Structure 1
Amino acid sequence: MLVVEDLMLLLLDDETGTPAAAGTLPYTLGGAVLVELALLGRIEADSAQGLNGPKVYAVGDGPLEDPLLQEAYDKVAEKPRGAQTLLLTIGSKLWDPVVERLIERGLIRREKKRVLGLFKMTMLPAADTEYEAALRDRIRAVLVDGAEPDPRTAALIALLSSSGALPQLRPQLAWSSAVIKRAKELEQGNWGAVALDTVVTRTAAAIAVSTAVAAVTVTTPPSS
């Protein structure tokens, strides 16, 4: 499973398949793919923050095994771009392929229904919740129990928090000021020892920060 698949699975309501934080979804999904490329050592980001976040560069050689990651990598490789520009460029095309992957894995299913006997509606309820429950347990261990996150879990929490979807997860976390503070720390790239290890995790953390900035920009109404 890719980070973006884990993220989508967590965002989809188990009963209806409606995604939480739908307004920022393209940015969040794009952030998940860029984080994955960073963790694979295939992109790096400038330390300086420009208008559209740090510039992102393709690095490394050879094809990637996953075609979804390869397509995103090829887009990065075209030319250096600001992270926030890449988030939307990549993320706007991810809904359909990621949903299809989750259906193929048997984690969600597609249902066709009629509302009021007239309007057709497609629903994407959960089909198998065991894997998702394990993801939630990992997130709960970090936020509630204070466990040290691995890079993937840190990235997932950062992306969920930046999208505004974290409080909407069901079953809901035992919210407290400590949990909220921990989630915000991860959202802002403070991954502790994880992010200090290599340029790989530092780049992944920087992408997560850019995703948070993009999400805030999208959801903040313009001043009159």
Structure 2
Amino acid sequence: MHVTLAEELVLLSLDDRTGAPKESVNTAWAAAGGLLAELVLAGRVDVADGRLAVVDRTPTGDSLLDGRLERLDEWVGTKRPGKAKAADWLTKDRSTVLRDTELRLYERGLVTEERHRVLGIFPVRHYPEADGSVERALRERLTAVVLDGAEPELRTAALIALLHSAKLHRLAFPDLPRKQVEPRFAEIAAGDWAGESVREAIKNMQLMMAAVIAATTAATAATA
């Protein structure tokens, strides 16, 4: 079963038993970056100098990607030429990317859906594991590359770069100290594994995530 980078990231972030999300803020940034990187890899979108361009509107055949491609194309159409910034798109997309990706995992039968109400009022949805085969294979790939030194193929390298950029090392290796795995993540992320457009998509995600975290930290400090 082919799953997108965003789906892989969300699978890693969901608790297998309870379905509760872990590190959802950073995962949302990484998933948005992952979908953009997927569209670049599929030849549908180009990212250069921080700007986005839709270069091919042909559907990919993947409903999650095609929904994003349609939204992105509409969004780019509202911008003046050269003003469709990747950072702006990622900021917009991160607000819905987790929900859309979780629903796609549910449609595929990889997770189940459980609905709760917090304080009897606020609805919450969790997604416990239903079919663990995809996540097991994913973790085996990451183990082979990060711990055993295997050479990553392009998609695994892209996933590792996203995890590293979003500081999500513990989602991949929850039982290992970050300092043990981070050097290998950094080595792969810095390697020559993809074209410049994919690298820009991930770089913009990382920059926007860092900017939002910095602004949040500053605001918290100011009110302390």
Q: TM-score, normalised by structure 1?
A: 0.79
* Partner SS state of residue 57, structure 1: strand
Contact 2:87-2:205 within 8 A present in 1 as well: yes
1:151-166 equivalent positions in 2, closer than 5 A: 151-166=154-169
For residues 160 and 107 of structure 2, the distance between their equivalents in structure 1, rounded to whole angstroms, comes to 25
Match runs of 1:9-158 below 5 Å: 9-46=11-48, 48=49, 54-74=50-70, 75-76=72-73, 77-78=76-77, 79=79, 80=82, 81-112=84-115, 122-158=125-161
- What is the TM-score of this pair, normalised by structure 2? 0.79
Matched, 1:191 2:191: yes
The size of the alignment, in residue pairs, is 208
Please report how far the alpha carbon of residue 115 of structure 1 lies from its aligned counterpart in structure 2 after TM superposition.
Answer: 7.3
C-alpha deviations, 1:95-154, integer Å up to 9, x for none?
Answer: 2322122112221112245779x5775432112212101101111222112222112111
The one-letter code matched in structure 2 to 1:59 is V
Q: Runs ≥4 in structure 1, deviation > 6 angstroms? A: none
- Unmatched 5+ stretches in structure 2: none
Give the aligned partner of residue 210 of structure 1.
204
- Displacement after TM superposition at 1:156 (Å): 1.2
| Pairwise CA distance, 1:15 | 2.1
**What is the CA distance between 1:88 and its match in structure 2?**
2.0
The structure-2 alpha-carbon separation of the partners of 1:22 and 1:174, relative to structure 1 and needing over 3 Å to count, comes to closer
Residue 121 and residue 63 in structure 1: after superposition, are their counterparts in 2 closer, same or farther (change >3 A)? closer
Kept in 2: contact 1:23–1:219 (CA 8 A): no
Q: Which residue does the alignment assign to 2:8?
A: 6
Q: Write the distance in 2 (CA, Å) between the matches of 1:70 and 1:132.
A: 23
The CA deviation at 1:171 is 4.8
SS in 1 for 2:96: coil
Gaps of 5+ in 1: 49-53, 196-200
The structural deviation recorded for 1:155 is: 1.5
The AA in structure 1 aligned to 2:209 is A
Structure 2 letter corresponding to 1:191? G
CA distance, structure 2, for counterparts of residue 168 and residue 64 of structure 1: 28
Q: What is the CA–CA distance in structure 2 between the aligned matches of 1:124 and 1:181, rounded to whole Å?
A: 32
Task: Give the distance between the partners of 2:30 and 2:89, measured in 1 at CA.
Answer: 11
**1:170-218 Cα distance to aligned partner (Å, 9 max, x none):** 55347545x312213444xx232x22xxxxx321122112212222222
Q: How big is the alpha-carbon RMSD for the aligned residues of Structure 1 and Structure 2? A: 2.6
| Matched residue, 1:198 | none
Q: In structure 2, what is the equivalent of residue 51 of structure 1?
A: none
Paired amino acid for 2:150 = A
